[in-house]
Amino acid sequence: MFVLIVLFVLNSLDGIFLKKIYPKKYEDIVKKYSQKYDVKENLIYSVMRTESNFDPNAKSEAGAIGLMQITPETFKWLQQKNKNLPRASVDELVNPDINIEYGVYFLSVLLNKYNNISTSLCAYNAGIGTVNDWLNEQKYSLDGKVLMNIPYKETRNYVKQVIKTEKIYNKIYF
């Protein structure tokens, strides 16, 4: 009986510890845009954790900004693509609500375009034009739809990390 209690306590502590490492920050905002754009919540958390580790003020060397690391160019493109997105300036990408909505909308566009999570994540990281070029090369894609090989090491590692993180979120928060 004592062993069962110890195992239960250790398992509970493990769950508490994992939730600290893999939190669900900005839960209300994530839930709202997950439903609005039909993107899985745990995928959104995985992208945020991988991109910025939940830092709304994060800025990359490439100029990406905020929780979901959106570049000013992508931000402007998304505003042109969807006139229903809130009008905002690039400076407002540090606002979690703005950043998450644009990031989740961008993910939804990519998931609808490529119909494949791995390919969509490649485009999120390396850009749509780059991914379209890869899809047109047989050394990267046999069918022009799914990437067998990801030529950029950074993008390859990014995709692996987001997918691994999403699996962990799915396990912790089923």
SS3 labels along the chain: CHHHHHHHHHHHHHHHHHHHHCCCCCHHHHHHHHHHHCCCHHHHHHHHHHHHCCCCCCECCCCCECCCCECHHHHHHHHHHCCCCCCCCHHHHHCHHHHHHHHHHHHHHHHHHHCCHHHHHHHHHHCHHHHHHHHCCCCCCCCCCCCCCCCCHHHHHHHHHHHHHHHHHHHHHC
Q: Which residue has the tokens 């089923």?
A: 174
Q: Could you confirm whether 51 is annotated as catalytic? A: yes
Are 131 and 139 spatial neighbours (Cβ–Cβ below 8 Å)?
no
**Out of 41, 51, 101, 166, which one is annotated catalytic?**
51
- Catalytic residue numbers read 51
